[in-house]
Structure 1
Amino acid sequence: MSDSPAGSAAPHCGLVAIVGRPNVGKSTLLNALVGQKISITSAKAQTTRHRITGIRTVGDAQFVFVDTPGFQTRHQAALNRTLNRTVRGVLADVDVVLFVVEAGRFGLDDAKVLALIQESGRPGQPVVLVANKLDAVQRRAELLPWLKGMQERHAFAEYVPLSAKKGADVERLLEIVRPYLPAQAWLHDEDALTDRSERFLASEIIREKLFRLTGDELPYTSTVVIDKFEEEGELRRIAASIVVEREAHKGMVIGGGGERLKRIGSEARQELETLLDGKVFLELFVKVRSGWAADEEHLRSYGYE
């Protein structure tokens, strides 16, 4: 636990969950709030699979953001059950909940997430409605009746329409959340950005490139396991396995003449060198593990909580 700066006002620190259905912009929002990319993004549902903690310290206040997997309502595979348990566990732990929806939209999946917040959250826990993707709303006047309808669904502590891509909107959200942080010592150092290891961040960046470069071809039941992570001065030597469920999926990842796998490796290596501020030697392998996403033991061995 870290102390607040000497001579400042009493420190405030709180855990803030970012919760919503898949693909509503939670990871983009987390990265914007922290000021650096620490959570991967792609158009594919299921991109975020772990609790990703991002940290932002402003003045006497430390915000500890927890990005959660999108709550899964359609499939009951072991992977989805594990992800949903993660969401429930986060809700029981935090001081504030940011419920992220798309501005002007509220579908069945959003309603199921709101019901989860109401079931799993603590009594009196402040829930802030974050109406994201405001830039995509054509007629702002139509938001007023929508917001009125949202007020009837839950007693939200605050309503914040914004675009996670606009810095001023993100800073405004921080100011709105600040009064809800408890008065207590900081949990992390002032300059900390995440509690995740470099090894974990490496696996996530490789998985992001995998999803982005395979598009809809590859089912979401694929993952990345770091086999080796060694430091030699400024150089990191990383070996990683991309795990897929079927032989056909292996071909999709490798691509004609191995070109797609090379591109995944090249883009991941470039981003890792920026993140880690040093040279990276990256080796990628593709392995077939039939049924891994339906096997609780496999899930644990691959780092799923």
Structure 2
Amino acid sequence: MARATRAKPPRMEQERPVNKVIKRPARGYHKFRNGILNVKPKGGEKAITKTNQSSPLLRLPAEIRNKIWALSLGGQVMRLLGSVPNGSRRVIALSSTERSGVALLRVCRQIYAEAAGMPLSLNTFSYYQHPAVSLFKYFKPHQRKQITSVRADLDGITFETSGGLDLDWTRRLFEFLPALKTYRLCVFKEDTTSPANSHKGGVIERIVYKRIKSLALGAAINFGVEYIAQDLRTFNSESIEIQWQVVHYQILDRQTVDRFLSPPAQGLRVNNGVNFWE
């Protein structure tokens, strides 16, 4: 007679925590799966962390601390730079010359844990007449998911630019930045007060708005066109050569970029021509 066997209950698969991380090594660093550094103190770091907790700044309510972090880390324009052709000119918006407060993230572990994503979500990333998708590829996926505001800086805008295929690449930009909420065109003009320019700009603005809206794939994008007087800087071959020498001299690895370290005196320049803080 066959012996009856009790069926084993099915094993319940445990869900893996999103932020589960391997034990942090004694040296170096480790990241959570969302890209944020694991800043749990180890060894002698524990005493420093305990001392920092008595700081008047860190004892403020969380809502007030978050406002302080946002004021220090947000509200700026961060320029993404591609290669500068020999003898070409570059347009830089006035707001992009401000110093970034990103060094705040180096003060202590608690501030980093609370504010690490703010430089991405609270600032506007601009680019100058360049297919933006290729520039944003230097960001990792978890970083691109936090970017909410982008601005394109143009020397001028024409009916060909607004109505032709030149804007088709913006469709990829909206797909590449899923959290994008604001997209602006900043047009630099020699004369922003001319009635002719104002009339022409208004017509083109409506055309561009319609074009961008059709490319946004139904996303709720806050779009606008802004006209600003030109601030042109001409680079000759000698100055460009010096500029790229500075770039290669100040090369920082990708790990440093991810950790949002503070910029050096001349601005943080990263290999491949990407400039995060200027």
TM-score over 0.5 (shorter chain): no
Query: Which one has a bigger Cα radius of gyration?
Result: 2
Which protein has the bigger strand share? 1
The TM-score range, normalised by the shorter chain, is: 0.3 to 0.5
Q: TM-score, normalised by structure 2?
A: 0.38
